[in-house]
Amino acid sequence: MATLEEEHQALLQFLYLAPVGLAQLKMDGEIVMINPLSAQLLMPLSRDGNLNNLFTALETIAPELRHLCASFNEPYGMICDAARLQVNAGIPGKSDPQMLSLTLLKLDAARLMAVISDVSLQVKRERQLQQHEAWLNAILQGMTDYALVPLNSDGGIEQWNESIERVSGLDAAGVYNRSYSIFFPEGAATKEGLADRLHEADQNGWSLQEGYCRRADGTRFWASTLITPLRIRGDNTAFTGALHVDLPEDHSYCLVIRDINEKREASESRRKALLCDHLTGVANRRAFFDAAELELSRMKRSPRPLSLVLFDADSFKSINDRYGHPVGDAVLRHFALMLQETFRQVDIVARIGGEEFAVILPSTSMPEAFAAAERLRAAVEASWVEIDGLRIAYTVSGGIVSADANVSSLDELIKRADAALYEAKEAGRNRIRTWHPGQARRLNMVMP
């Protein structure tokens, strides 16, 4: 019969040789025991080269972990199951984005167990499969709630049919010779973004999105919009599946709008679970990297302005130290709400670190981005957070960069915005700074 010491040694050997990263933690994230694979995955994320605390090591890519554990009141159970954590954006044409999977278990009142693995290749394959599945679903399901809209090579609507009126309420006069942007709410798309979808349909065979569409009376509904290139037949008609329409001889597309308003709640729940920050509700780090990479590739293919703003709540640690983490969380939620109210619907607002937020502004020049960032800064300075009878005032600083031909990757763009943000902090906080070549020496510095 095995002794307790032998069982202990067997457990340590299993921990050491396990094909996934394993770590035992205290409730505050302090690492008690960790196997080599976990150390290998986590060490590049550690700012100081130490692996004393899992929450600290993952703070830049999973700032919500402390909050999740602190708010889990059950005596034991699953805190998070295979949560996807985006580590970096990768290098286009050279390396794919790195993605970690984290499962966190509460064993008892004093212990946590973390299971960590690299799922970068799995995520890449999942995205490819989801694209194919989404395309088939959009064509084969819900055919009574669709609008079929023939588009010309510029995205203009040249024909009308009853399905358009059934879904959108627009008549022939309302759509003829107009851009397909009329189906979307104001501010939901830029001119360049509309052209991007046509190009992506040519490149990939389709362009699929979910979001709000607009009816003729101004009301909105949640819709799936699919754009596919149409194959021209010899008789100057084109087809998609079994649906045939008359088309001009030049290149053309089919826009399929499906009203999926009844599925919006389930769709939003899935989207929030995957792409939204747990605490603030804005996009999370993974969604930020995906959106920023897409916009950067669009800009390189078809040059247009593109700006990035990094914001940081000033002296946030002192707020947490003085008032406690619940007040700090309330400040972050307030800041996220003000960001959403200030920036456009087409802009991507994300929380990418503990108190650090990013905004991607498509088709936006540096002066335009500065004006928007300054509006946000002034609005925060003039406001406060009220919690438990306290009024907490705070300020924010921001760093802005606009992409140009010299920026080869998203990581480089972020470093430039970081350098501008560092300058804003160094100059006294509560201000906005823009990137300039004189900040190049700061690119490798760590923000205070």
Q: What is the 3 state secondary structure string of the chain? A: CCCHHHHHHHHHHHHHHCCCEEEEEECCCEEEEECHHHHHHHHHHCCCCCCCEHHHHCCCCCCCHHHHHHCCCCCCEEEEEEEEEECCCCECCCECCCEEEEEEEECCCCEEEEEEEECHHHHHHHHHHHHHHHHHHHHHCCHHHEEEEEECCCCEECCCCHHHHHHHCCCHHHHCCEEHHHHCCCCCCCHHHHHHHHHHHHHHCCEEEEEEEECCCCCEEEEEEEEEECEECCCCEEEECCEEEECCCCCCEEEEEEECHHHHHHHHHHHHHHHECCCCCCECHHHHHHHHHHHHHHHHHCCCCEEEEEEEECCHHHHHHHHCHHHHHHHHHHHHHHHHHHCCCCCEEEECCCCEEEEEEECCCHHHHHHHHHHHHHHHHCCCEEECCEEECCCEEEEEEECCCCCCCHHHHHHHHHHHHHHHHHCCCCCEEECCHHHHHHCCCCCC
pLDDT score, position 12: 54
Gap between the Cα atoms of 435 and 376, Å rounded: 18
pLDDT score, position 88: 79
Q: Which tens digit of pLDDT belongs to each residue from 273-289?
A: 667 888 999 999 888 99
Average pLDDT over residues 180-185: 94
Residue 240 has pLDDT above 60, yes or no: no
| Fold held by 276-442 | Alpha-Beta Plaits (3.30.70)
Q: Which range is least confidently modeled, 202-211, 238-247, 377-386?
A: 238-247
Gap between the Cα atoms of 263 and 231, Å rounded: 31
pLDDT score, position 156: 94
CA atoms within 13 A on the CB side of 319: 23
Residue 141 has pLDDT above 70, yes or no: no
Gap between the Cα atoms of 132 and 114, Å rounded: 33
Per-residue confidence band for 14, with pLDDT thresholds at 50, 70 and 90:
low
The amino acid at residue 317 is: K
Residue 302 has pLDDT above 80, yes or no: yes
Q: Which range is least confidently modeled, 11-20, 49-58, 189-198?
A: 11-20
pLDDT score, position 272: 61
Distances (CA, A) of 33 to 11, 23, 36: 12, 6, 10
Residue 201 has pLDDT above 70, yes or no: yes
pLDDT score, position 443: 56
What is the residue-averaged pLDDT of the chain? 82
What CATH homologous superfamily does 126-265 map to? PAS domain (3.30.450.20)
Q: Which tens digit of pLDDT belongs to each residue from 312-363?
A: 999 999 998 999 888 999 999 999 999 999 999 899 999 998 899 999 999 9
Residues labelled catalytic? 355
96 with 108: CB under 8 angstroms? no
Mode of pairing for the β-strands spanning 207-214 and 220-229:
antiparallel
Higher per-residue pLDDT: 245 or 314: 314
Is the overall model pTM greater than 0.75, yes or no?
no
Most confident of 22-31, 82-91, 266-275, 377-386: 377-386
Residue 243 has pLDDT above 50, yes or no: no
Per-residue confidence band for 242, with pLDDT thresholds at 50, 70 and 90:
very low
pLDDT score, position 215: 93
Average pLDDT over residues 8-13: 55
Gap between the Cα atoms of 27 and 24, Å rounded: 10
Per-residue confidence band for 137, with pLDDT thresholds at 50, 70 and 90:
low
Residue 246 has pLDDT above 50, yes or no: no
Q: Which range is least confidently modeled, 6-15, 33-42, 95-104, 197-206?
A: 6-15
The reply to whether 126-265 shares the fold of 4-118 is yes
114 with 102: CB under 8 angstroms? yes
Higher per-residue pLDDT: 114 or 248: 114
Domain boundaries, the chain: 4-118, 126-265, 276-442
Residue 36 has pLDDT above 70, yes or no: yes
pLDDT score, position 41: 85
Sheet with 356-362, side-by-side order of all strands: 348-351, 356-362, 306-313, 396-402, 432-434
Say which CATH class 4-118 falls into. Answer: alpha beta
pLDDT score, position 11: 53
pLDDT score, position 237: 44
CA–CA–CA angle 333, 338, 341 (5° rounding): 130
Average pLDDT over residues 358-373: 95
Average pLDDT over residues 29-52: 82
Gap between the Cα atoms of 40 and 214, Å rounded: 49
**Percent of the chain scored above 70 by pLDDT?**
80
